[in-house]
Amino acid sequence: MSDDNHLKNLLTNKMQRRTFLKWSGAIGKPVIAGGIGTKMLVNRKVVIKPVGAKEESPETIISTCSINNCGGRCVIKAHVKEGVVVRVSTDTQEGGDLSTPPLRACVRGRNYRSMLYHPDRLKFPMKRVGKRGEGKFERISWDEAVETIAAQVKRIGDKYGPEPACVAACPMRAIEFGPIEELRKKYGTVS
């Protein structure tokens, strides 16, 4: 049977379970394996430096994990030149199986660079000086921020006791959960 006839039969006749499984396996394996073969589809550019061109500063790749409101811990690679993140990439491991899949980051993880350099990103503590909702804030020191938070936590604890307080933390973040658990115990809350 020619390939054209085989394809026509697939499209017109009722597909058999066995045929469906064959095609699912043929199409699904590259998807599950992380897109094996997709590198061939990427248009790679060859950069030729002119003679006497100024040498660029070396790029440092810093491997880290996703913490952008996510407990996934995907592999994030920050490409840094002269102290500035110039791009973000993710795990490039090929293949893998269900027990050790590649840890590629989703859009949230790949968005780190724009989040890091966003013009509205807070870089220091701010304290509201107007009425709630007015949007009036002033810059304060880190020491003042810690003192203000501690005083408010103590005030609320003195007024209502520790029981109503709830400490929320993602259980997937075991590294950060230790200090939060210690704070919970010292404060006396049950949750």
Number of domains composing the chain: 2
Residues 104 and 130 in one domain: no
Contact in structure between 62 and 74 (CB atoms under 8 Å): no
Q: Coil, strand or helix: which one is 13?
A: coil
Per-residue pLDDT of the chain (191 residues; tens, 9 = 90+): 555 565 565 555 565 666 665 655 555 555 444 444 444 444 445 555 566 656 667 888 877 766 655 666 677 888 899 888 888 888 777 766 677 777 777 777 777 788 888 888 888 999 999 999 999 999 999 999 999 988 998 898 889 888 777 766 655 555 556 777 777 777 777 66
Q: Is residue 104 part of a domain?
A: yes
Domain finish residue from 69, 96, 116: 116
Shared-domain flag, residues 92 and 137 = no
Within this chain, do residues 97 and 135 fall inside the same structural domain, yes or no?
A: no
| CATH code of the domain containing 79 | 2.20.25
Residue 110 lies in a domain: yes
In a domain, 86, yes or no: yes
Coil/strand/helix, residue 186: helix
Reduced to 3 states, what is the DSSP secondary structure of residue 46?
coil
- Does residue 178 share a domain with residue 139? yes
Kind and range of the H or E element at 76?
strand 75-81
Task: Kindly state whether residue 149 falls inside one of the protein's structural domains.
Answer: yes
pLDDT given at position 146:
93
Task: List the domain range (segments joined by +) for residue 169.
Answer: 126-187
Is 53 contained in some domain? no
Q: Does 22 map to a domain?
A: no
> 111 and 70, same structural domain?
yes
Instruction: Based on the fold, state whether residues 108 and 81 are members of the same structural domain.
Output: yes
Structure pTM? Answer: 0.48
Residue finishing a domain among 92, 116, 140: 116
Mapped onto helix, strand or coil, the DSSP state of residue 156 is helix
With respect to residue 151, please indicate whether it lies within any of the assigned structural domains: yes
Judgement on whether residues 141 and 93 belong to the same structural domain of the protein: no
